[in-house]
Amino acid sequence: MLVDMNSTLRWAGERGCAVAAFDTPNLEILLAVIDAAERREEPIIIQHAELHEEVTHLAVIGPIMMDRARDASVPICVMLDHAVDIAYVEQALDIGFTAIMYDGSDKPFDENVEMTRKVVDICAGTGADVEAEIGVTYGHEGKVDPSDAGSVAVTGAYTDPDEAARFVKATGIDALAASFGTVHGFYKAEPKLDFDRIVATREAAGVPLVMHGGSGLTREDTRRAISCGIRKINYFSYMSHAGVEGVRDLFARGEVKYFHQIASAAQAAMSKDAEAAMEMFSMR
């Protein structure tokens, strides 16, 4: 069933856990994560990132995401992830997306506030919820870690709790993506997570916090972050790579004649990985 982001965040808040948010740039990944959610009977968020436009056009995958969400046996929010272009936001809303993540984190504070406020105003007319970002999560979206070491122990990268509070008040967003040491994509070194910053930011901002770069963290660190106040975790890279490993295993077992065998093997492996991630996020 199709729901908004805030309902999934309330579900997570009531249980002291985090809702899983999966980028789903193609059909196999989309079906994989919905299968996992239905097996666990838990809500999820499915997302299309603006940077994945080159993988599958929003105009193509967006309506399919909406259809699958409506038909699912569990609550599913359909969200635009890391949007930077207002026209792209409007396109997602026209398709029916129920949440928008606007990313102005690379802009000066006042400009980030101005653009985020504009997105909030646009979404208000559709009922869509809004997530935005303060601080820098390196990896994708053109934000390369200058240390090239897999952590974000770089001046100005971590979210400042007081700045986060001012940002939330000025924009009226529903959830805040905060930076405390995670990285988009694959980790090159052990991340240095600032858990005290999560607590301080959650208390100062007063809205649910989102962890980007959820792949690759240890179970212990993930659950500690959730205990500190994370209520939504974006998870993609390691799940997508699980699909690659599923295909490798298929070829290792013998001759492959049809493409659909490859697609099915990848989908099954990704669904298993997504289910494991959801179990980790559930705190039970």
Residues with a catalytic annotation lie at: 81
The whole-angstrom separation of Cα 102 and Cα 276 is: 28
Sequence-distant (≥ 6) Cβ neighbours of residue 255 within 8 angstroms? none
Which residue's entry shows tokens 């102005």? 104
For 29-47, give one letter per residue: b (16+ CB within 10 A) or e.
bbbbbbbbbbebebbbbbb
User: How far is residue 83's CA from residue 15's CA, in Å, rounded to a whole number?
Assistant: 29
* Continuous H helices in 100-194: 109-124, 161-171
Which run of H or of E encompasses 38? Answer: helix 27-40
- Alpha carbon distance 251, 53 (integer Å): 29
Residue 277 CA: distances (Å) to CA of 147, 180, 204, 280: 28, 20, 28, 5
